[in-house]
């Protein structure tokens, strides 16, 4: 089989695609395949760390789906298993011919500038993460022991605390493709995580931070984010609920205004 | 072309620069970030340098939890846990090689540490009454391990990273530290290669903390992230700091067959059992009381014995069976484990047992430091897995490493904060000459031709360490391994990269890692050869018993002019009697 890999370095007018012939081994992941390719051409650049789908380093566009390279089995791709249907956006358009029974196409995560080959500059993604102020701000003074939390409340939070900030959702979002100012699914999901943390109740009014056209209101509910998330985080649910709450709050404020 | 960065736009080649700080922290995992917060809160200037984005640090992969005698869950017969009991379990688990004062300090600080993280926002799993939940772990007399499902490291690391963002602490991401700057015997900062641009930077600092994690990747079959190459330990060794107990390498009993991704001890803490090919729960023969929850060294040896005796499955593994826990409990308490088994072995633990084998997991040894994190060199501190304080001795208990990172991240920062005011501002001269030295060194490496690739040597090193310094060790086999390591060291001097650029040259980074790994491998080998006994994780077929007369002592290794010397120093005792260790 062959890995067809996007190559780019500063000075090139555009990308080129290099093919690497790899002996497929059972259980081989795309990341493992990339390491073999790198042993043949040590100028090939890609990020890696945990190789176990927990650190979020190696999100890239694999056969036109943003995924973690370390979690994606080469054999599954060749056999066409577990296809992911996505709402279209420009990065998914055909760039290069692909025989998906013999080849795997590997390109950098969309919507972020390419530094080299498969390495993108994540600055914008983390700028939006910082923008939502992801710092726990509890209400009231610090107790001596833990602030109690019901297991049910924990269960509500966990889908969002599971985010590993890999950026797959950012690279899968048709709105991010069009609007570089849109905060994106991961940042919004994190903001919602703090909003629903019962230990913050009565603290900072969190939802307002993204009550803008580039925040909660930018989402078009393509739900690509949910479909590509390697950790099952549902940003679309967070965004939908946030919008409902904001609407409800403004309705009740209007109601109060009318009654005055 | 829009969307691509051109050289003029900034992330192209930039000039290296010297910056000056009160404290520089090398490593952005739990220890590094916790220390950075502490130094920043004290009003001192601090920078974090990491070869990866902090959230990609290996801390993120810790699954099972953090031990603390909160006493939220009572033990057998309604007994309440205590820090003394935690300390006793830790010392016994260490096979009496841990320093008892360091262990006492860690265990006393543990409950406040878990609470502190809760106050920073960590979403710990909870009991029905809202308090932090705790579960049983190997070698522990009480359900003591606090956890966030089976993603504890992920949750705590994200919490600390968020706090670091909140304080706007500068983080130099994807900077590979190439040397410690020494000025008259004192550590005065470091130099670093900015991986994305190839620029060499200088960091002058009054205090430098190494928090770079373990060196597990010198072994094949490791649970560790690919980045765990022991860079900080090698930096310290080269700068002249002593290393301690480097031969004590933990092999985790349950790593996923095929990829050696960790299957947390929490799986057994929740009730999972190990079975061999005949379906026998074999731990009953090796640890009749503690069974599957005996300490890791005991369980790893048992599995390896079973495999050696032909009781394993074809390919060399046993099975970890969780099915009797039921789908509900697996999905609630071990969702990450289930995901890993499904993603990487195609096995759903709700329906099938998980194939597991032992694999390298943790470096008990490291930079020799005291409880204040001070190394043998003034100005240089170390904490976390790269350090050896020693709270783990010859065998670490599950749930104690996350604890160590956060406790000592804070306490060592405190000792830096105490020392910094009396240190003069470091001179620029030594930093400049270290930068020039790094530049020359890198130019030389890139200029070579005709040698092996770094990848080939790395594979040979990993295999050598696994085969000759694995779970069961033996003198002659280790001698042979040491000779192989020496030959690899010689060959490494000729390693040749096809990539001749300094910017985004990952082969260069791999080579710089490899240089250190080969030095650490030698120290592990020499320590293991000299220690003619079996203690904790260090098991010698030719010396099967613990020998307190000769070896109730820490191994201390130093390197001078490329030559490693092994010596010993006493273990801190006094709180608990030395006993035979049975489970």
Both tokens of B376, joined, read: 């043998």
Among the partner residues B11, B148, B506, nearest to A121 by beta-carbon distance: B11
Within 237-296 of B, beta carbons closer than 8 Å to A belong to: 258-259, 261-262
Interface check B12 vs A, CB under 8 A: yes
What DSSP character marks residue B421? G
B455 close to B213: Cβ distance less than 8 angstroms: no
CA dihedral B151, B153, B157, B160 (to 10 degrees): 100
A-chain CB neighbours of B52 within 8 Å are 47, 49, 57
Minimal-distance CA residue of chain A relative to B496: A42
Q: Are the Cβ atoms of A161 and B155 closer than 8 angstroms? A: yes
pTM of the predicted model as reported, rounded to 2 decimal places? 0.96
> Residue B284: what are its φ and ψ, rounded to 5°?
-60, -30
B424 close to B378: Cβ distance less than 8 angstroms: no
Distance from CA of A148 to the nearest CA of B (A): 4
**Does B296 participate in catalysis according to the annotation?**
yes
Q: State the DSSP string of B541-569.
A: TTB-S--HHHHSEEEEEEEETTEEEEEEE
How much is the pLDDT for A258? Answer: 56
Q: Beta strand B318-321 with B273-275: parallel, antiparallel or unpaired? A: antiparallel
Could you report the per-residue pLDDT of B411-427, keeping only the tens digit for each? 999 999 999 999 999 99
A209 close to A137: Cβ distance less than 8 angstroms: no
How much is the pLDDT for B64? Answer: 87
Both tokens of B297, joined, read: 């060294």
Interface check B53 vs A, CB under 8 A: yes
Interface check B459 vs A, CB under 8 A: no
Q: Are the Cβ atoms of B506 and A38 closer than 8 angstroms? A: yes
How much is the pLDDT for A178? Answer: 97
Beta bridge partners of B539: B472
The distance from CA B228 to its chain's CA centroid, rounded to whole angstroms, is 8
Among A50, A140, A144, most B C-beta atoms within 10 A, so best to mutate, is A50
Handedness of CA B443, B449, B454, B455 (dihedral sign): positive
Q: Tell me the percentage of chain B whose pLDDT exceeds 70.
A: 97
- Report residue A203's pLDDT band, with 50, 70 and 90 as the boundaries: low
Sequence-separated (6 or more) residues with CB below 8 Å from residue B65: B135, B137, B145, B146, B147, B148, B152, B266, B398, B399, B402
Distance from CA of B514 to the nearest CA of A (A): 15
B124 close to B64: Cβ distance less than 8 angstroms: no
- Report residue A260's pLDDT band, with 50, 70 and 90 as the boundaries: very low
Given the residues B144, B268, B296, B396, the one annotated as active site: B296
A-chain CB neighbours of B127 within 8 Å are 151
Q: Distances from the Cα of A132 to the Cαs of A126, B157, B159, B165, in angstroms?
A: 10, 18, 15, 11
A-chain CB neighbours of B71 within 8 Å are none
Interface check B501 vs A, CB under 8 A: yes
A-chain CB neighbours of B154 within 8 Å are 54, 162, 164
Could you report the per-residue pLDDT of B475-524, keeping only the tens digit for each? 999 999 999 999 999 999 999 999 999 999 999 999 999 999 999 999 99
How much is the pLDDT for A82? Answer: 78
Could you report the per-residue pLDDT of B226-261, keeping only the tens digit for each? 999 999 999 999 999 999 999 999 999 999 999 999
Distance from CA of A213 to the nearest CA of B (A): 23
Could you report the per-residue pLDDT of B103-118, keeping only the tens digit for each? 999 999 999 999 999 9
How much is the pLDDT for A139? Answer: 84
Burial of A83: CB neighbours in 10 Å, binned 0-12, 13-18, 19+: exposed
Q: Say if residue B2's pLDDT is above 70.
A: no
Among the partner residues B56, B227, B453, nearest to A56 by beta-carbon distance: B56
CB contacts < 8 A, A to B, total 171
Minimal-distance CA residue of chain A relative to B129: A150
Q: Which three-class secondary structure string do you get for chain A? A: CEEEEEECCCCCCCCEEEEEECCCCCCCEHHHHHHHHHHHCCCCCCCCCCCCCCCCCCEEEECCEEEEHHHCEHHHHHCCCCCCCCCCCHHHCCCCCCCCCCEEEEECCCCCCEEECCEECCHHHHHHHHHCCCCCCCCCCCCCCCCCCCHHHHHHHHHHHCCCCCCHHHHHCHHHHHCCCCCCHHHHHHHHHHHCCHHHCCCCCCHHHHCCCCCHHHCCCCCHHHHHCCCCCCHHHHHHHHHHHHHHHHHHHHHHHHHC
Could you report the per-residue pLDDT of A126-157, keeping only the tens digit for each? 999 999 999 999 988 899 999 999 999 999 99
Q: Distances from the Cα of B320 to the Cαs of B86, B264, B349, B471, in angstroms?
A: 27, 11, 9, 20
Orientation of helix B506-530 relative to helix B231-239, angle to 10°? 70
Handedness of CA B3, B9, B13, B15 (dihedral sign): negative
Pick from B39, B53, B55, B51: which is nearest to B167 by CA? B39
B-chain CB neighbours of A9 within 8 Å are 504
Q: Beta strand B200-210 with B380-382: parallel, antiparallel or unpaired? A: parallel
Q: Are the Cβ atoms of B12 and A10 closer than 8 angstroms? A: yes
Q: State the DSSP string of B290-319.
A: TGGGS-HHHHHHHHHHHHHTT-SBTTTBEE
Phi-psi group of B332: left, alpha or beta (phi > 0 → left; psi -120 to 50 → alpha; rest → beta): alpha
Give the H or E element holding residue B408. helix B400-419
């Amino acid at each position: 089989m062959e890995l067809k890999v996007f190559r780019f370095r500063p000075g090139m007018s555009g990308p080129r695609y290099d093919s690497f012939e790899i002996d497929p081994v059972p259980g081989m992941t795309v990341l493992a395949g990339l390491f073999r390719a790198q042993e043949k051409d040590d100028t090939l650049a890609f990020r890696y760390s945990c190789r176990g789908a927990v650190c979020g380093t190696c999100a890239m566009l694999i056969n036109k789906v943003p995924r973690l390279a370390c979690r994606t089995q080469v054999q599954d791709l060749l056999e066409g298993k577990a296809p992911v249907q996505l709402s279209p956006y420009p990065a998914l358009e055909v760039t290069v011919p692909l025989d998906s029974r013999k080849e795997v196409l590997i390109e950098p995560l969309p919507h972020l500038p390419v530094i080299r080959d498969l390495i993108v500059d994540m600055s914008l993604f983390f700028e939006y993460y910082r923008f939502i102020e992801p710092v726990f701000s509890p209400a009231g003074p610090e107790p001596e022991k833990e602030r109690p939390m019901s297991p049910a409340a924990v269960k509500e939070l966990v889908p969002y605390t599971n985010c590993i900030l890999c950026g797959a959702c950012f690279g899968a979002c048709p709105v991010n493709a069009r609007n570089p100012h849109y905060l994106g699914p991961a940042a919004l999901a994190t903001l919602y995580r703090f909003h629903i943390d019962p230990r913050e109740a009565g603290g900072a009014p969190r939802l307002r931070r993204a009550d803008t056209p580039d925040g909660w209101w930018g989402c078009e509910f393509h739900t690509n984010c949910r479909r590509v998330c390697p950790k099952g985080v549902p940003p679309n649910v967070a965004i939908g609920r946030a919008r409902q709450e904001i609407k409800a709050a403004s309705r009740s404020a209007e109601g109060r205004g009318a009654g005055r | 072309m829009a969307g691509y960065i051109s050289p003029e736009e900034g992330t192209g080649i930039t000039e290296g620069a010297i910056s000056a700080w009160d404290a520089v922290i090398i490593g952005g995992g739990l220890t590094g970030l916790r220390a950075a917060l502490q130094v920043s809160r004290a009003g001192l200037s601090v920078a974090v340098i990491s070869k990866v984005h902090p959230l990609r640090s290996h801390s993120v992969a810790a699954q099972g939890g953090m031990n603390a005698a909160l006493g939220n869950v009572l033990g057998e017969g309604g007994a309440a846990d205590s820090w003394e009991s935690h300390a006793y379990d830790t010392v016994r688990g260490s096979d009496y090689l841990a320093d008892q004062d360091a262990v006492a300090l860690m265990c006393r600080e543990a409950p406040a540490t878990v609470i502190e993280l809760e106050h920073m926002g960590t979403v710990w799993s909870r009991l029905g009454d809202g308090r932090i939940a705790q579960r049983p772990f190997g070698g522990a007399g009480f359900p003591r391990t606090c956890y966030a499902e089976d993603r504890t490291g992920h949750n705590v690391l994200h919490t600390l990273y968020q706090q670091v963002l909140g304080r706007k602490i500068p983080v130099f991401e994807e900077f590979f530290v190439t040397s410690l700057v020494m000025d008259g015997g004192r550590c005065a900062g470091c130099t670093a290669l900015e991986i994305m641009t190839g620029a060499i930077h200088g960091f002058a600092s009054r205090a430098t903390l190494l928090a770079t994690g373990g060196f597990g990747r010198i072994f094949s079959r490791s649970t560790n992230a690919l980045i765990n190459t022991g860079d900080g330990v090698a930096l310290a060794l080269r700068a002249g700091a002593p290393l301690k107990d480097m031969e004590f390498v933990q092999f985790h009993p349950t790593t996923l067959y095929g990829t050696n991704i960790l299957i947390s001890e929490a799986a057994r803490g929740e009730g999972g059992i190990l079975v061999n090919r005949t379906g026998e729960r074999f731990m009953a023969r090796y640890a009749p009381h503690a069974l599957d929850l005996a300490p890791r060294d005991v369980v790893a040896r048992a599995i390896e014995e079973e495999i050696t005796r032909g009781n394993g499955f074809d390919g060399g593994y046993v099975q970890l069976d969780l099915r009797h826990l039921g789908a509900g409990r697996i999905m609630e308490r071990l969702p990450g484990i289930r995901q890993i088994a499904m993603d990487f072995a195609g096995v759903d633990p709700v329906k099938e047992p998980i194939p597991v084998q032992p694999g390298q997991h943790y470096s008990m040894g490291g930079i020799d430091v005291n409880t204040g994190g001070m190394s043998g060199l003034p100005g240089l501190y170390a904490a976390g897995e790269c350090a050896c304080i020693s709270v783990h001795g010859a065998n670490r208990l599950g749930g104690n490493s996350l604890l160590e990172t956060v406790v000592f991240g804070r306490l060592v920062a405190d000792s830096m904060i105490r020392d910094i005011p009396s240190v003069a501002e470091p001179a620029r001269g030594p930093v400049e000459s270290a930068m020039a030295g790094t530049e020359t060194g890198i130019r030389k490496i890139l200029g070579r031709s005709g040698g092996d690739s770094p990848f080939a040597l790395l594979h040979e090193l990993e295999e050598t360490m696994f085969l000759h310094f694995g779970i069961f060790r033996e003198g002659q086999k280790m001698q042979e391994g040491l000779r192989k390591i020496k030959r690899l060291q010689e060959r490494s001097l000729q390693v040749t990269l096809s990539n001749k650029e300094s910017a985004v040259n990952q082969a260069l980074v791999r080579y710089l890692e490899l240089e250190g790994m080969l030095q650490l491998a030698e120290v592990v080998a020499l320590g293991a050869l000299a220690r003619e006994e079996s203690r904790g994780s260090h098991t010698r077929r030719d010396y099967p018993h613990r020998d307190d007369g000769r070896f109730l002592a820490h191994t201390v290794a130093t390197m001078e002019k490329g030559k490693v010397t092994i010596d010993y120093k006493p273990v801190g005792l006094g709180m608990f009697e030395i006993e035979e260790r049975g489970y």
